[in-house]
Structure 1
Amino acid sequence: MIKGVNRDTIAKHESQAALLGLQHLLAMYSGAILVPLLIGGALHFNAAQMTYLVSIDIFMCGIATFLQIFSNRYFGIGLPVILGCAVQAVAPLQMIGGRFSIGTMYGAIIAAGIFVFVISGWFAKLRKLFPPVITGTVITVIGLTLIPIAFLNLGGGNVAAKSFGTPVNLIIGFLTVIVILICNAWGKGFIRQIAVLMGLLIGTLTAGGLGLVSLQPVLSASWFRLPEVFHFGVPQFEPSSILTMIMVALVSMVESTGVFFALGDVINKDITESDLKKGYRAEALAIIFGGLFNTFPYTTYSQNVGLVQLSGIKSRKPVVYAGAFLVILGLLPKVGAVATIIPVPVIGGAMIVMFGMVTMQGVRMLNQVDFRNNRNLLVAAVSIGLGLGVTVQPAIVHGLPQAAQLILSNGIVVASVTAVLLNLILQPDKGAVEQVKQSS
């Protein structure tokens, strides 16, 4: 009898863990599929290519999550985290793929992953060099530089097209925004966590009712397909592209550091230098595998931290289930094909909210900064100014060599480098001490 009760109890706990894992998956799913949809669209992938790209990306999200949560002596932080595509990599990858080739894009991802693995131990010692004035500035610029892409998609994705900016595109795009706002503002628990997914679903169903959705990609997709190494092309290594992706990887490492500490606070675990090193190494392996399997760089998702706090479940088991679900779904191309039928304006509407949230996350981090210290003000002001400047007017570097153009026309990279250098040169903390001495 006791054994029976134990089995029932175990089954109940397992089913609850599985449901919590499904919630983790749904919370990150919309963000995960947006990256392949954006990059595949920019590179003019056909329906079959898009289906495979989404499927293999979902699969790799699961593999990347496993690398991080199953801690060992060498890699894996062992926290209940989910890994997904790094959204800050969207614009750089689109640029690299458009100016060079798909192979160059994946070569840069692999090189960036190797770089992260090599510097992981050293970077864990340098966390004090990335105060909120840097991380907040960089994340703010990431959000602001991506918002124009959101509006491009809101209008239809192609400025030259006759349908760009038509009322129907704007209606279904803003309907998506409204649904996300309603679910976030008045939804509770689970509904609030899947607000973006609800927006995508209702926006797509509305577009389908207007005859703007074709189910052909789903019907033509296969039921099962194994991942393939170098499916889209053999990696090629180009210096400026590699440097660009290294900068993106460094930004991701800074963000991941914040997520690690946030989760450590939630589950009452002290995050040590060794934990950080193993966490960075796991992300490095995930990035390398992303390049090998022709997907994307992967990073720890911050939105799932809120789920851990909300549910009160601090164990890794729900995340293990989420990773398993991701792997299984990634092997089913028909599931991946469903994501490819989402109309571009619907994606644009979701992007406005998501990228706006990224921006405000950066602003919230900057709220920790003492801007009464003029040096902090200069670090943030100049970095944001330069980052947005080259984003709005990339032609300003048109006269430079192509390699320099690739780096200096990327607002995220420019803002990141500027913030780090200015923080080292101006030394805001030292300036604050001097101001205190002068005032006394």
Structure 2
Amino acid sequence: MMNKQPDVSAPKAAVLGIQHLLAMYSGSVLVPILIGASLHFSSEQMTYLVSIDIFMCGIATALQIFANKYFGIGLPVVLGCAVQAVAPLIMIGQKFDFRTMYGAIIAAGLFVFLISGVFAKLRRFFPPLVTGTLITVIGLSLIPVAFQNLGGGDTAAKSFGNMGNLAIGAFTVLLILAFNVWGRGFVRSIAILIGLVGGTVLAGLMGQVSFAPVAEASWFHVPTPFYFGVPKFEWSSIVTMILISLVSMVESTGVFFALGDVVGRRIEQDDLRRGYRAEGIAVFLGGIFNTFPYTTFSQNVGLVQLSGIKTRKPVIFSALFLVILGLLPKVGALATIIPNPVLGGAMLVMFGMVAVQGIRMLQQVDFHNDKNLLVAAISIGLGLGVTVQPDIVQFLPKTAQLLFSSGILMASISAVGLNLLFNARTPQPDLDIKDGLNEKDDDK
């Protein structure tokens, strides 16, 4: 059971919900922008793609947080577009067309839903040694993304890494640190939001904020099933998306355990089954409404840990806001004006928190046993290695490249496989969640 949390008033929960929304917004919007641009969508199609994507992020999040006996894990999770799906979806769209792309997404959603029970039975393969290693790799592998944004977003741009960008990013980080260290109660819990707003104001004063996306966006948009036409089903495209969905399920498993540790709740097999089912439904609906696969966003683990507010109420508001923003593209576009250096500063803090959460979980492992030490060392090395040098798999078949260039998947395969090899006959302890709630709760 989740430990009892102090109640949070609706206004405070709403502000915290905005913080969750801003933390995931840019990453989720980036997916339709990248795919739409690569497939040469018109401006009208792009407007639909972005707005309905945000709408579906809210629906997908609601499916997870409003848990019932059939689906939903009931943790403070936020779902967004699966970034690992970008490359394969572009490949499918270019080789075939976008109707084939959406057919593959629908099939992958059904697959995730149907195998949720079987996949949940693999819980015993994720002891603290494996889960802690996986969460550490998730956090560390995202740090380069934070630094890319910190420098300005486009590494090929002449302005990348200039003093202006670095100053804005550093100011954002310092602002977050200041309010988190010296702030009290609710003010400390919204340190990330304060950093994002403060950093954006500074960037605006330096001429780096454009309101053009707001002016160009429409006021209202209605979600339309099969907006781009009737989906087409092609076997190789379906297999590709199923494999990518398995990668997402592995990542979600790590996030579920990390959040369970943060909020003080033991994650059981039935929790995992309902969590996978909710993601399967979200992916299926993504294909129906012509958006993309959805998965649990790991950066929100760091946000929950940093804010100290571990109830679902803020995320409920976040899901509501996402649905509203998806219906009102002009309002939703306001969140897109946050400059990359500001986002990079916030990401640096949040992704670092995710990595530290994994290290905390590894503290429960007996590293006097050299076998455990090797499992963690090799798995972290492989995960970070392919993240930094993805071209090392360039001579593999295309589908294999998409999979084995994922640091999260490589770390998962290594950690699970080596743990089975070395510790198959050694009982592994369950995750100890007694320290899941930290001292910040005393100030709420």
TM-score normalised over the length of structure 2: 0.79
Work out which of the residue numbers 334, 348, 354 in structure 1 matches 2:350. 354
1:96-116: CA deviation from partner (whole Å, max 9, x where unpaired): 345554847766654443333
User: Structure 2: how far apart are the matches of 1:303 and 1:392?
Assistant: 22
Residue 26 of structure 2 is aligned to residue 34 of structure 1: yes
Structure 2 residue aligned with 1:25? 17
User: Structure 1: how far apart are the matches of 2:359 and 2:44?
Assistant: 40
User: Structure 2: how far apart are the matches of 1:47 and 1:193?
Assistant: 38
Structure 2 residue aligned with 1:214? 210
Instruction: Quickly say closer, same or farther: Cα 1:290–1:368, change in 2 above 3 A.
Output: farther
User: In terms of mean alpha carbon deviation, does 317-326 or 345-354 score higher?
Assistant: 317-326
Unaligned runs of 5+ in 2: 1-6, 430-444
Work out which of the residue numbers 74, 78, 82 in structure 2 matches 1:83. 78
Structure 2 residue aligned with 1:363? 359
Structure 2 residue aligned with 1:387? 383
Q: Retained in 2: the 8 A contact 1:96–1:105? A: no
Structure 2 residue aligned with 1:168? 164
- Tell me the CA shift for residue 288 of structure 1: 2.4
User: Structure 1: how far apart are the matches of 2:67 and 2:156?
Assistant: 50
Residue 367 of structure 2 is aligned to residue 375 of structure 1: no
Residue 245 of structure 2 is aligned to residue 245 of structure 1: yes
Superposition pairs for residues 40-55 of structure 1, below 5 Å?
40=32, 42-43=34-35, 45=37, 52=48, 55=51
SS state at 1:228 partner: coil
Q: Retained in 1: the 8 A contact 2:120–2:273? A: yes
Q: Retained in 1: the 8 A contact 2:36–2:46? A: no
- Tell me the CA shift for residue 173 of structure 1: 1.8
User: Structure 2: how far apart are the matches of 1:378 and 1:83?
Assistant: 33
User: In terms of mean alpha carbon deviation, does 117-126 or 228-237 score higher?
Assistant: 228-237
Structure 2 residue aligned with 1:298? 295
Unaligned runs of 5+ in 1: 1-14, 434-440
1:58-116: CA deviation from partner (whole Å, max 9, x where unpaired): 42233223323444442234x36343227xx43x2343345554847766654443333
Instruction: Quickly say closer, same or farther: Cα 1:303–1:105, change in 2 above 3 A.
Output: farther
2:362 partner amino acid: L
Structure 1 residue aligned with 2:55? 59
User: In terms of mean alpha carbon deviation, does 54-63 or 343-352 score higher?
Assistant: 54-63
Rg larger for: 1
Count of paired positions: 408
Q: Retained in 2: the 8 A contact 1:51–1:337? A: no
SS state at 2:426 partner: helix
Structure 1 residue aligned with 2:122? 126
SS state at 1:85 partner: strand
User: Structure 2: how far apart are the matches of 1:163 and 1:309?
Assistant: 37
User: Structure 2: how far apart are the matches of 1:263 and 1:162?
Assistant: 44
Structure 2 residue aligned with 1:342? 338
2:21 partner amino acid: Y
2:295 partner amino acid: Y
Instruction: Quickly say closer, same or farther: Cα 1:262–1:196, change in 2 above 3 A.
Output: closer
Q: Retained in 2: the 8 A contact 1:80–1:319? A: no
- Tell me the CA shift for residue 33 of structure 1: 0.2
CA RMSD of aligned residues (A): 3.4
Q: Retained in 2: the 8 A contact 1:107–1:242? A: no
1:239-298: CA deviation from partner (whole Å, max 9, x where unpaired): 344313311222203422453576574xxxx86644443333223212322343314413
Structure 1 residue aligned with 2:442? none
1:1-37: CA deviation from partner (whole Å, max 9, x where unpaired): xxxxxxxxxxxxxx97532541441241122203224
Instruction: Quickly say closer, same or farther: Cα 1:145–1:108, change in 2 above 3 A.
Output: farther
User: Structure 2: how far apart are the matches of 1:150 and 1:109?
Assistant: 28
- Tell me the CA shift for residue 151 of structure 1: 1.5
TM-score normalised over the length of structure 1: 0.80
User: Structure 2: how far apart are the matches of 1:249 and 1:368?
Assistant: 24
Instruction: Quickly say closer, same or farther: Cα 1:263–1:106, change in 2 above 3 A.
Output: farther
